Amino acid sequence: MAKKAEFYISGIRMNPSGNQIESFRRHKATAVSVEDCDYISRHAILEDIRNGVNYATAFPDKDGNLRKGSTISIFKEKFLRSNENKSEKDNLGNLPLI
């Protein structure tokens, strides 16, 4: 059974060349709510996941509340993925740019 996400990612910022995510909008997920966001670097998320912190994508529902999407994992030690395809790039679905 998958562990509950500790943080949700609701937006991304790409690097200047547009080929890699450089930072993320992150929300702490608690048992009863999703807290306000902060912003975190790519390096910090990679380190968190390597250290066992669980992340998932999140999208607003019709009422504007964030709802869990897909679990985020690391592919080939450097790519962040929310799906199973094997292309060598970040892929977190259709998260909005921030």
DSSP state of 65: -
What is the C-alpha separation between 61 and 95, in angstroms, rounded?
Answer: 13
The confidence score (pLDDT) of residue 1 equals 47
For 62-67, the CB contacts below 8 A with 24+ separation are: 65/34, 66/8, 66/10, 66/27, 66/34
The dihedral over CA atoms of 3, 8, 13, 19, expressed in degrees to the nearest 10, equals 20
Sequence-distant (6+) residues with CB within 8 A of 87 are none
Statement: residue 71 has pLDDT above 80: yes
Confidence of residue 84 (pLDDT cuts 50, 70, 90): confident
For range 58-81, the mean pLDDT: 91
The pTM of the full predicted model, rounded to 2 decimals, is 0.87
User: Measuring CA to CA, which residue among 58, 43, 65 is closest to residue 5?
Assistant: 58
| pLDDT 10s digits, 4-49 | 889 999 999 999 998 899 999 999 987 777 778 899 999 999 999 9
